[in-house]
Amino acid sequence: MNNKPITKKPLRLLTTIAVATLFIQCKPETKPVVKTVSNETILKAPEGFSVSEIGKDLGAVRHLTVAKNGDIYANRSVLKDGKAIIVLKDTDNDGNIDAQQEFAEVPGTGILATDTYLYTSSNSAIFRYPLNSAQEIIDTNSPEKLIDSLIDMGMDNAKPFTVDNDKNLYVTIGSWNDGCRDGNAGMIPCAILDSAGGIWKFKTDKLNQTFSDGSRYATGLKNAVGLDWNFKTNSLFATDHGRGGLHNFYPDVFTQKQDAELPSETLYEIKEGDNAGWPKSYYDHFKNKRMLAPEYGGDGEQLSEDNYINPVAAFPAHLGPNDLLFYTGDMFPDKYKNGAFIAFHNQSAELKKGFFVAFVPFKDGKPNGDWELFLDNFAGFDLANPEGGELKHRPCGLAQGPDGALYVCDDFGGSIFKVTY
């Protein structure tokens, strides 16, 4: 494959789209109560796109999915009103959300609707809810447990996942140790890689699996929160969070500026058995090269000599790529077809921007052209001049609706946005 990454280019001018005022009808046990969604948040999108805030104050909604009947599910990393999963419905098919339901008592991140199941994850397990012919959950009180006993050490412990068409489920197990350090030195070998720092493969048609039932599909990924199976290439793609602490742990080697701008956040196409190089190496998007990590003798100039895979795209440091979606709909212009949307959950000192959704154009299954900013201003203020600014939203999850609309959820402000063209 082409290992030349895509590096940062000037951001394109975007058109400000005011968020529309919509209504959500909350649905308690008795008479529904109408709740107005305000239009105080203004997002920026390319010309021709419209952005609506279809849910507000929903809690820490991390990832989301849209069933074929249009129901929108989101998984919370923190319980709200004692529940983890929220579903928004348009019961009269008028294009507006008019019902809201909540269920499940175990918080998590991953969630995915297929033709027959709604799959969800906690920080240590994966569940599924059977769906009926109308794409509705048969019993919200009785999920089936697919996988249990995935390691949870309390840091970078989300279990995002995706599935393919061959009854395989791929789940990230992130590392709780940023550089696999023991003091200031790297562990040799890194014992964490036996149970974390990679992606594991399980089956979707076998209940009550444990960690030992899975196989390590790929290693050397510190925390791959964005996962998506690309059905056009029939391969797995993942976004990985870069390590930190270059200056904090090695001030004689790395400046504070280098610490703020390195290493890259990365997008990989992953084959079974691949090694993406963590913790022995990191990717430098300025040099377009893989560097030896300081824990293993690197000095910021020494290249890694190991045979690790290179990313297909590299982004500025510390942006926090938290979800990945290949767009397959017909609503958006042709340039977006089969390209990748990435939700960035943090900000970049290099760009003086952050909290945005980016787009990577693809052609013939490979990145083709510069990545670009697609949906911006989740923060609600200019990050280059932050005086007095108060953070409003952090994009986290992405989903595609049956009509081709793009959905984005925000685990800080608790909103869900719908993007149409």
Q: Residue 188 belongs to a domain with what CATH number?
A: 2.120.10.30
pLDDT given for residue 145 in this prediction: 98
Output b/e per residue, 121-144; b: 16+ Cβ within 10 A.
bbbbbbbbbebeeebebeebeebe
Pull the structure tokens for residue 149: 């006993």
pLDDT at 7: 47
**Residue where the block lists tokens 């109560």:** 33
Please report the pLDDT score of residue 27 as a whole number.
34
**Which residues does residue 185 pair with via DSSP β-bridges, in sequence order?**
182
pLDDT in tens, 265-289: 999 999 999 999 999 999 999 999 9
Confidence band, pLDDT 50/70/90 cuts, at residue 241 = very high
pLDDT at 235 over 80: yes
Amino acid 1: pLDDT:
44
In a domain, 5, yes or no: no
Q: CA–CA distance from 327 to each of 10, 68, 302, 342, 407 (Å)?
A: 23, 15, 38, 11, 11
How far from the centroid of its chain's Cα atoms is residue 217's Cα?
19
Mean pLDDT, residues 295-302 taken together: 94
Least confident of 20-29, 205-214, 395-404: 20-29
Q: Tell me how far the alpha carbon of residue 104 is from its chain's centroid.
A: 21
**What is the average per-residue pLDDT within 111-116?**
98
Residue 144 lies in a domain: yes
Tell me the C-alpha to C-alpha distance, in Å, between residue 12 and each of 7, 8, 346, 410.
Answer: 15, 12, 20, 23
Q: Is 215 part of a structural domain of the chain?
A: yes
Reported confidence tier of residue 216, pLDDT bands at 50, 70, 90: very high
Percent over 90 (pLDDT), the chain: 86
For residues 182-209, give the mean pLDDT: 92
10 lies in a domain?
no
Stretch 381-407: mean pLDDT: 95
Residue found under tokens 């569940």 = 127
pLDDT in tens, 122-169: 999 999 999 999 999 999 999 999 999 999 999 999 999 999 999 999
4 in any annotated domain: no
- Output the pLDDT for position 112: 98
Beta bridge partners of 265: 315
Q: Does some domain include residue 397?
A: yes
Number of domains in the chain: 1
User: Pick from 223, 330, 321, 325: which is nearest to 278 by CA?
Assistant: 223
Structural domain containing residue 368: 15-420
Task: Determine the Cα–Cα distance for residues 338 and 150; give it in Å rounded to an integer.
Answer: 32
- Residue 6 forms part of a structural domain: no
Residue 94, pLDDT score: 87
C-alpha distances out from residue 74 to 116, 259, 404, 419, Å? 18, 34, 18, 16
For the beta carbon of residue 288, count every other beta carbon within 10 angstroms. 15
Confidence category of residue 8, pLDDT binned at 50, 70, 90: very low
Rounded-to-integer distance, Cα 401 and Cα 140, Å: 22
pLDDT over threshold 60, residue 39:
no
pLDDT tens digits for 341-376?
A: 999 999 999 999 999 999 999 999 999 999 999 999
Average pLDDT along the chain: 91
Asked if the structure places residue 2 within a domain, the reply is no
pLDDT digits (tens, 9 = 90+) for 161-193: 999 999 999 999 999 999 998 876 778 889 999
How many residues are listed for the chain in this entry?
421
Residues 64-83 have a mean pLDDT of: 98
DSSP state of 308: P
User: How much is the pLDDT for 10?
Assistant: 43
Q: How far apart are CA 412 and CA 343, in angstroms?
A: 13
